[in-house]
């Protein structure tokens, strides 16, 4: 299959994290040792380290004369040695996230190989949701405090709420956050969150690390969550078919990012190499 086209890879790209999620019907027995070992063998070349994640679930039976019970579940987390890419698999979902993204063309084979590993090792009964998320932190050296003037760098349609020609004279914007949902095809939706923020949208020292993050400063957030839901029926868990859904989800994200930022931003910020001394 032809790999979908990708935006150019910039030396100072604003992308902080890319994540995929596939939800499937819950497996009541969880992830057993055999499935865990099979998964580890399948992804070991790309994700050589394995960790345990313990999740606590508090259960309260209303009206029952017994105290609440706490159920602990342990899931495997497979990571690269530099901890910039990680895969978590539990009884109802798999999540793959990375802060080292070199374009969809390079990420797509990883998606398909991980899906094949999940299909072979845990054998989900179907697929309920497929999601693809991109989180961008756009920074300008000239903006040192919120909300900042993003005119000329972000498309004016995303700045309409703080346009001086729109606001009455007594209103001074401090910050804002926009949210809009788009229908992008049968059973497919794209949710965009946008607006100025401070520090980081993706914590550099989180479980999935960021290499050479920029210093904390004001940024403009573009958070795109493109997803498909199994509304009519629950199809089988097929790695190739799910990868095709990811291709469909990626296309509107790419198109929206292309119109959200201006050529001035691409030329003056994205195309300029970072000063690694301050990273």
Q: Which tens digits make up the pLDDT trace of 126-168? A: 999 999 999 999 999 999 999 999 999 999 999 999 998 888 9
Q: What is the mean pLDDT of the chain?
A: 89
pLDDT digits (tens, 9 = 90+) for 198-246: 999 999 999 999 999 999 999 999 999 999 999 989 999 999 999 999 9
pTM over 0.85: yes
Helix axes 104-121, 33-43, angle to 10 degrees: 150
Residue 244 tokens, joined: 């095709």
- Which helix H or strand E contains 20, and what residues bound it? strand 15-23
**If pLDDT is split at 50, 70 and 90, which confidence band does 78 have?**
very high
Beta partners for 194? 178, 222
Q: What is the pLDDT of residue 164?
A: 87
| Residue 40 reports pLDDT greater than 80 | yes
| Residue 278 reports pLDDT greater than 70 | no
| Residue 1 reports pLDDT greater than 50 | no
| Residue 93 reports pLDDT greater than 50 | yes
**If pLDDT is split at 50, 70 and 90, which confidence band does 179 have?**
very high
Report whether 236 contacts 119 (CB < 8 A): no
Domain boundaries, the chain: 15-58+68-278
What residue has token string 């342990």?
74
Q: What are the DSSP E strand ranges found in 66-187? A: 69-79, 85-89, 93-98, 129-138, 178-185
Higher pLDDT, 73 or 190: 190
Strands 129-138 and 15-23: antiparallel
Q: What is the pLDDT of residue 134?
A: 98
Q: What is the pLDDT of residue 35?
A: 86
Q: Distance of CA 202 to CAs 17, 184, 270, Å?
A: 7, 26, 19
DSSP 278: G
Q: What is the pLDDT of residue 118?
A: 94
| Residue 258 reports pLDDT greater than 60 | yes
Q: What is the pLDDT of residue 62?
A: 56
């Amino acid at each position: 299959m032809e790999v979908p086209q990708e935006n150019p890879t910039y030396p100072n790209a604003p992308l902080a994290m890319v994540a995929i999620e596939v939800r499937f019907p819950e497996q009541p027995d969880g992830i057993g040792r055999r499935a865990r070992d099979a998964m580890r063998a399948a992804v070991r070349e790309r994700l050589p380290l394995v960790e345990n994640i313990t999740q606590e679930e508090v259960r309260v039976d209303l009206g029952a004369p017994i105290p609440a019970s706490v159920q602990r579940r342990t899931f495997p987390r497979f990571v690269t040695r530099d901890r910039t890419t990680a895969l978590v698999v539990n009884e109802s979902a798999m999540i793959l996230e990375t802060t080292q993204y070199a374009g969809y063309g390079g990420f797509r084979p990883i998606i398909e190989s991980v899906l094949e590993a999940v299909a072979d090792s845990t054998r989900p009964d179907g697929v309920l949701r497929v999601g693809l998320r991109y989180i961008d932190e756009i920074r300008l050296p000239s903006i040192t405090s919120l909300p900042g003037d993003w005119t000329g760098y972000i498309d004016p349609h995303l700045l309409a709420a703080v346009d001086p020609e729109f606001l009455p004279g007594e209103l001074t914007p401090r910050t804002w956050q926009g949210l809009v949902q788009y229908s992008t095809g049968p059973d497919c939706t794209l949710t965009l969150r946008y607006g100025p923020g401070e520090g980081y949208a993706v914590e550099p020292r989180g479980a999935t690390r960021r290499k050479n993050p920029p210093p904390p400063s004001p940024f403009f957030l573009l958070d795109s969550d493109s997803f498909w839901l199994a509304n009519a029926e629950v199809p089988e868990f097929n790695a190739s078919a799910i990868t095709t859904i990811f291709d469909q989800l990626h296309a509107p994200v790419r198109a929206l990012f292309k119109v959200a930022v201006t050529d001035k931003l691409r030329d003056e910020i994205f195309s300029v190499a970072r000063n690694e001394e301050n990273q």
